[in-house]
Structure 1
Amino acid sequence: MSGFKLIRSPMEALKEHFGFSGLREGQDRVVAAIMEGRNVLVVMPTGGGKSLCYQLPALCREGVCLVVSPLIALMKDQVDALVAKGIPATMINSSLSFPEQKERLSGMKEGSYKLVYVAPERFGHEGFMRALAEVDVNMVAVDEAHCLSQWGHDFRPDYLKLGRAIEAMGRPQVAALTATATPRVRDDILEHLHLEDPVTIVRGFARENLHFRITACDTHKEKYKRLYDLVKRNKTGIIYCSTRKKVEQVYEALSDLGLSVTAYHAGMTDAQREEAQNAFMNRQADIVIATNAFGMGIDRADVRFVAHFEIPGSVEAFYQEAGRAGRDGRDAYCELLFNHADLRTQEFFIEGVNPGVPLIVELYELLRKHCSAESHEVSWTLEEMAERLKCRNAMQVGAALSVLMRNGAISRHDVPGQRVKLTRVADPSMSGLKIPLDERAIREKEVRDREKLKAMTEFAYSAGCRQQWILNYFGEEGAVPCGRCDQCMALGVEEGQVMGEEETRVVRQALSGIARASVRQADGSWQGRWGRTKVIHMLKGSKSQDLLKTSLVRLSTYGILSSWSEDDIRQLFRAMQMAGLTKMSGEADRPLVTLSPKGNEVMMGRQEVSMIWPFARRSAAPDRRGQTRVRSTGDFAALGEFDEDLFMKLKELRNELAREAGIPAYAVFHNSTLEAMARLKPTTRRGAMNIHGIGERKAARYLDDFLEIIAEHCGV
């Protein structure tokens, strides 16, 4: 390869090509596994440096690394960045003319490139696969690998071609990478790619610098007010909207306020989208308002906030999009502006991408009946097809066309100079009833989509730590409260805080009651027998005739929480479920409560309780000087109105002092201590020393700086 020198040592190549002296946590294990020739599945949070995991090994060995990437804009960004570093890289996708594609394929055969980014649909072209047979492919890196799974939040049917394509290439080494994958999605990825003896590396989903918040908004006016506050405080961010129309409305509203904004959605031309993306990436615009078409692979490090104007369709989509904030490691804020009515938009989308077998067959018959006798083609738009079918949701027509294309019943191609596509029926003599549609898979996909929206809705209404809920959703064991989200802040929970003895005892009593109301399986797991309400009534010691007729009243845990109200026990159950201590089993119309494996370990005392105690409380304890100390946990409202602007100033000072001292931020003051300051606004040492978390040593070292900020803020 002319002009490019292989460096066999990954660490030397890292320094030479990327200017880094070391790898991040997790990257080192991935690079080592790839250099050993192992197939790998990598789950690493957004901003964790997944690209480097395959780029670096590619530079240390002969041959070409094929990178499968779903978006042309994403490919272009990656290729431009590599070429700027002097690394021979290119891309092959539909944006190139046939001569350009042919030229780059020739360059691959000649060894002119180290990394070649390829769109997944290329692997369905026989000519492309024939050309690859003459290329020395040392590895296939499957980026955004969750697109392989119908359980993933962004399933792309073209990704299903990869398993056969890798087989046809002689099974080169494979690295599959994604930021968001539940255990089920991971299993799907491994199954579709047929990976032999893979190494699965999950770095963890937690992002320690992200602060999650869900704000209930009854009106758009409230949403715009909150957006303005976010922008004023954080300046640089991304605002996600569910529809193109909403993007334009929010863009106009924020533009009218004189803010530096740009807009991005799939309805814009390629040139318009590129202009908008460049404006944001080049810092000509502080804020981009966009649909989910924006963001994959975006690498602007100083994004200080990500806001969702409406609820997204899945937890995976929410977390991936939120993860585009704070990639520089500094504090960033992720906020969902939640209104239950917005769920209608997501339900409309689910209907749109799940047309159902009757509509698919009806569409095919319509095309078969009206296609021309010579070319077998129809030149209708999606809207025209929807109108002829009397279908109110044109998205369903697009989804139905995709199903027919995957089954080989039709093909579609562009008309030069026009936006309309021609639809060609492969064999007009074939009845729609003969198309081999997988009805079971089609139904299952709709069920999966609705389950994802249900999970996102549960997250929006959840009462526990936001990040802990997300980590539990992704199957991460031992997740603890983050101490940074709105829920942790409201209840005064510190990062990783475990509950006290009394709270732990109550949780174990409740878990014990659930266990006794369940059946122990042969494998040690628990199977539920009763619904949540019945078990709550049992713990309360209810005397209702309905309960007295059951065997629950004979359990040793009957009435063990008799001093508690039924509502409080129900709230405790919600918190335990959010923390992954309990689970629901049985049929959808009769869910039964039982213990999770984690809940069993907590009940047995083999694992600490790591959940948010869902009851705000205010306590006071005399300190050694006999003065009453204000505890910064529990009922913060009793301390005074929360001043968020002051809190942010105090937090910025706290983080700066921690960086200078090389210590964790909480070692200066915990968030709850800062919040108590932001409510009490003490301007003297004596007043501040009444706040829990401010001892004599910390006061001597840090307090004066904080008092100065408070006095300046209050104009004292």
Structure 2
Amino acid sequence: MSAQAVLQRVYGYSAFRGEQEAIIDAAVAGRDVLVLMPTGGGKSVCYQIPALVREGVGIVVSPLIALMSDQVAALRQLGVRAAYLNSTLDFQQASEIEAQLRAGELDLLYMAPERLMLPRTLDLLAESPLALIAIDEAHCVSQWGHDFRPEYLGLSALAARFPGVPRMALTATADVPTRDEIVQRLALQDPARFVASFDRPNIRYRVSERGNAKQQLLRFLQKEHPGEAGVVYCLSRKKVEATAEWLRDAGFDAVPYHAGLPAEMRAAHQERFLREDGVIVVATIAFGMGIDKPDVRFVAHLDLPGSVEAYYQETGRAGRDGEPADAWMLYGLGDVVQRRQMIDSGEAGDERKRVERSKLDAMLGYCELDSCRRQPLLRYFGQSLETACGNCDNCLWPPETDDATEPARQALSAVYRTGQRFGVSYLVDHLMGKADERAQRFGHDQVSTFGIGRELTAERWRRLFRQLIARGYLDVDVDGYGGLRLSESARGLLKGQETIRVRRKVATGSGGSRRASAAQSTLSPGDEGLFEALRRWRKSEADEQGVPAYVVFHDATLRDIAREKPADSAALGAIGGVSVKRLERYGDAILELVATAQSTSATGS
């Protein structure tokens, strides 16, 4: 069966999205592949379909038990022979899965990297034809990334152990150096590289300076997301528990999640979040990777993330269904101090610490922007957006700014005059006329930019440098010592052909008015009753099967059914997301609900 036929028959969709088809074709042809695709972009289809088209079983490497369980449940709904091997299975269950593998009765098998690299597991796989090996969350192999996991390093041995089996590395977050490191550490052989657009236009990015954080969060939730599911990230375990308790006292269904809680409690809280509507998880970064829940309507950060990569991945858990969602963040300079202390007190080497400081500065620069937030966010990952997005706080509610053209030109000149190899601290001292041993040794106390910036404070200079980095006028040498160098964009500013304005102060309010809910934004009032009836039916089905509701059908599919009101199986099967197996299993019940709604509407009119 062709990839197109599998997409239509198994998944219920008539067309691929973006570069999915090209990625699948490369894997089906037997090539190694590197895939960068944002959360919600459809990465799983990119390895699932080649596993169904090629001979043998597809092996999927995932670091998360919850993700394995949900994806296997969803695949079985589609009639795909899928299973997982992990610590949740007892000996008898694991033996049955292994027997199915040996008998060629599986299309896809999920497992963690530690399980896969056991000699016994490798010997077991050697007995079966392998369609491909997919390595999800591949950024975990990068020692410079935000979520390094040492168990991923052993996966490079798969190239020698299973020659001729294509391998696909997939991630939602990796800058250019991290991409190269993924290829090198996983020993991918001349991989086809696919970098999808990182833009998530349905997510509204918003940043505020922290005032009364609890009241700011309360206003945000009450006005904009009452009764909706979301994630609130905090830096410390203590703050997670205090915030969850406070939200419960305020009437929200909130649960804590961090690595210090008992495993059973973490699992129970995650399960509630996945299967119930309107649950808020308050968590450290220990929560979220691989979470498939499509209807997360907001991700809130009460503390500054450590890097743009971490921020992008965490915010990407909102709005996987393509409906409007918020990425809302509070930050304060105390966050910066705490983050820097964490870096300085860590056990990493000096080079790693320099990189982490540079990434933190980039994150802070993003917070302080007065211009479109989406443009620098995409530029960080090597992509561009020609016009402002119109869906971030700075585009929707432009902040007050001051002209900073002259000090910006002084800062860029200082970078150039000192050789384009020094970091922010050295350059600030240079502009303020503070000569240390290095300045005297290099003769920088004699150049024209030495001491020309004494009228500004050190903090204002640091803030300006962060802005120049965030806007692309300066590049950071993350592969070296964190030095700054001029980008091509700096030329116009240096020559007086451009001006630059910087924000006076980041707002402390929640910013903006409540967006329309997903259902309200796409359904007429007359269709909402049918949509809600379909959701109630779906919940009953999901509860009976013991799976999350979205495994049965996504909201988007139910919304299309409510809008189109199919009268027969052919019309229902033509709706995106209604696969052959789903039509066989649920078609009669859905058509009955639609007919009842139509009859009630006709009677009422």
Aligned to 1:108: 101
The two structures have a TM-score, normalised by structure 2, of: 0.71
Q: Which residue matches 2:382? A: 475
Displacement of 1:175 in angstroms is 0.6
Larger Rg: 1
**Residue number in structure 1 paired with 2:22:** 29
Cα 1:312–1:567 change in 2 (3 A) is closer
Q: Secondary structure at the match of 2:115?
A: helix
- Residue 416 (structure 2) aligns with: 518
Alignment of 1:148-159 (within 5 A): 148-159=141-152
Q: Deviations over 1:36-70 (max 9, x none)?
A: 32211111111111111111111112101110000
- Counterpart selection for 1:53 from 46, 52, 58: 46
In the aligned structure 2, how far is the partner of 1:119 from the partner of 1:226?
A: 40
Structure 1 counterpart of 2:258, which letter? H
Q: Is 1:552–2:552 an aligned residue pair?
A: no
Q: Distance in 2 between matches of 1:512 and 1:656?
A: 54
Distance, in Å, in 1 between the alignment partners of 2:318 and 2:324 is 9
Corresponding position of 1:320 = 313
Q: 1:577 aligns with which of 469, 480, 486?
A: 469
Contact 2:365 2:470 in 1 (8 A): no
Query: Secondary structure of the residue that 1:299 maps to in structure 2?
Result: coil
2:201 is the alignment partner of 1:201? no
Partner residue, 2:270: 277
The range that moved more, 303-312 or 286-295, is 286-295
Q: Is the 8 Å Cα contact of residues 528 and 585 (structure 1) preserved in structure 2? A: no
Report the CA distance shift for 1:217/1:517 in structure 2 as closer, same or farther (over 3 A).
closer
1:667-710 superposed Cα distances (whole Å, 9 cap, x missing partner)? xxxxxxxxxxxxxxxxxxxxxxxxxxxxxxxxxxxxxxxxxxxx
The Cα offsets for residues 132-187 of structure 1, whole Å up to 9 and x where unpaired, read as 21121121100000000111111111101100133212251011000010111111
Change over 3 Å in CA distance of 1:644–1:41 after alignment to 2? closer
> By how many angstroms is 1:83 displaced?
1.1
- The alignment of Structure 1 onto Structure 2 pairs a total of residues equal to 512
- Give the residue type in structure 1 aligned to 2:469: Q
Q: Residue 297 of structure 1: CA displacement?
A: 2.3
User: 3-state DSSP class of the match of 2:318?
Assistant: coil
Q: Secondary structure at the match of 1:310?
A: coil
Higher relative CO (Cα under 8 Å, sequence separation at least 6) belongs to 2
Unaligned runs of 5+ in 1: 1-6, 357-440, 494-502, 539-546, 554-558, 617-634, 658-716
Native 8 Å contact 1:230 1:305 kept in 2: no
TM-score, scaled relative to structure 1: 0.61
Indicate the residue corresponding to 1:614 in structure 2: 502
Look up the match of 1:334.
Answer: 327
Aligned mates of 1:452, 1:443 — CA distance in 2: 14
**Per the alignment, do residues 653 and 570 of structure 1 end up closer, same or farther by CA in structure 2, a change over 3 Å counting?**
farther
1:344-384 Cα offsets, whole Å, 9 max, x none, are 665676578x4x4xxxxxxxxxxxxxxxxxxxxxxxxxxxx
Counterpart pick for 1:488 among 389, 395, 404 = 395
The equivalent of 2:533 in structure 1 is none
| Amino acid in structure 2 at the alignment position of 1:114 | D
Counterpart residue identity of residue 596, structure 1: S
**2:363 alignment partner in structure 1:** 456
Cα offset, 1:319, TM superposition: 1.3
Where 2:255 maps in the other structure, the secondary structure is strand
Structure 1 counterpart SS, 2:63: coil
CA contact (8 A) 2:307 2:360 kept: yes
1:577-616 matches, within 5 Å, as 577-583=469-475, 594-600=485-491, 613-614=501-502
> Structure 1 residue 489: deviation in Å?
3.1
Of stretches 91-100 and 175-184 in structure 1, the one that deviates more from structure 2 is 91-100
User: 1:139 aligned to 2:146?
Assistant: no
Equivalence map 1:209-288=2 (5 Å):
209-229=202-222, 232=225, 235-288=228-281
Residues 572/312 of structure 1: CA separation in 2 closer, same or farther (3 Å cut)? closer
Distance change (3 Å), C-alpha of 1:537 and 1:593: farther
Give 1:129 shift.
1.5
| Separation in structure 2 between the aligned mates of residue 529 and residue 251 of structure 1, nearest angstrom | 40
Partners of 2:87 and 2:517 lie apart in 1 by: 51
Shift of 1:338: 1.4
Give the superposition deviation at 1:268.
4.0
Give the corresponding residue for 1:78. 71
With 190-199 and 308-317 compared, the bigger mean Cα shift is at: 308-317
Q: State the shift of 1:304 in Å.
A: 1.8
Amino acid aligned to 1:335: W
What is the DSSP-based 3-state SS (H/G/I as helix, E as strand, rest coil) of the residue aligned with 2:502? coil
Structural mapping, 1:658-697, within 5 Å: none
- C-alpha contact (below 8 Å) 1:88/1:115 kept by paired residues: yes
- Alignment check: 8 A CA contact 2:428 2:461 kept: no
Preserved contact between residue 514 and residue 535 of structure 1 (Cα < 8 Å): no
Over residues 98-145 of structure 1, what are the superposed CA-to-partner deviations in whole Å (9 max), with x where a residue is unaligned? 443343233222211111101100233211112221121121100000
Distance in structure 2 (CA, Å) of the matches to 1:133 and 1:341: 53
Counterpart AA for 1:264: Y
Question: What do residues 444-481 of structure 1 show as CA deviations (whole Å, max 9, x unaligned)?
Answer: 55555454444434433444433233223223346654
SS of the residue 1:614 aligns to: strand
Does structure 1 retain, via aligned residues, the 8 Å contact 2:300–2:329? yes
Range that drifts further, 239-248 or 184-193: 239-248
Tell whether 2:164 aligns with 1:188. no
* Equivalent pair of 2:67/2:292 in contact (CA under 8 Å): no
Q: Which residue of 1 is the match for residue 172 of structure 2?
A: 179
Q: 1:316 to 1:295 in 2, by over 3 A?
A: same
Q: Summarize deviations over 1:177-210 as a string: whole Å, max 9, x none.
A: 0001011111110001111111111112221121
Cα 1:295–1:588 change in 2 (3 A) is closer
One-letter code aligned to 1:64:
V
1:654: Cα distance to partner? Answer: 9.8
CA gap of 1:520–1:447, structure 2 versus 1, over 3 A, is closer
The range that moved more, 569-578 or 93-102, is: 569-578
Structure 2 residue identity aligned to 1:583: D
Alignment check: 8 A CA contact 1:514 1:595 kept: yes
1:290 alignment counterpart: 283
Deviates more, 1:218-227 or 1:168-177: 218-227
Corresponding residue number in structure 2 for 1:706: none
How far, CA to CA, are the matches of 1:122 and 1:566 in structure 2? 51
Q: Which amino acid in structure 1 is aligned with residue 97 of structure 2?
A: R
Structure 2 gap ranges (5+): 434-442, 525-605
CA contact (8 A) 1:532 1:593 kept: no
SS at match of 1:164: helix
Q: Is the 8 A contact 1:518 1:528 kept in 2?
A: no
Q: CA RMSD in A?
A: 4.7
Query: Matches of 1:16 and 1:532 in 2, distance apart?
Result: 61
CA distance in 2, matches of 1:456, 1:340: 12
Cα distance change on mapping 1:338 and 1:615 into 2, 3 Å: closer
Q: 2:373 touches 2:392 (CA, 8 Å); kept in 1?
A: yes
CA separation of 1:592/1:247 partners in 2, compared to 1, >3 Å: closer, same or farther?
A: closer
Superposed counterparts of 1:340-419, under 5 Å: 340-343=333-336, 346=339, 354=346, 356=347
CA distance in 1, matches of 2:220, 2:344: 30
2: CA distance between counterparts of 1:509 and 1:269?
53
Contact map agreement 2:7 2:13 (CA 8 A) in 1:
yes
| Corresponding residue for residue 69 of structure 1 | 62
**Alignment match, 2:590:** none
Q: Please say if residues 109 and 136 of structure 1, whose CA atoms lie closer than 8 Å, have aligned partners that are also in contact.
A: no
Read off the aligned partner of 2:296 and give its amino acid letter.
Answer: V
Q: Which amino acid aligns with 1:581?
A: Y
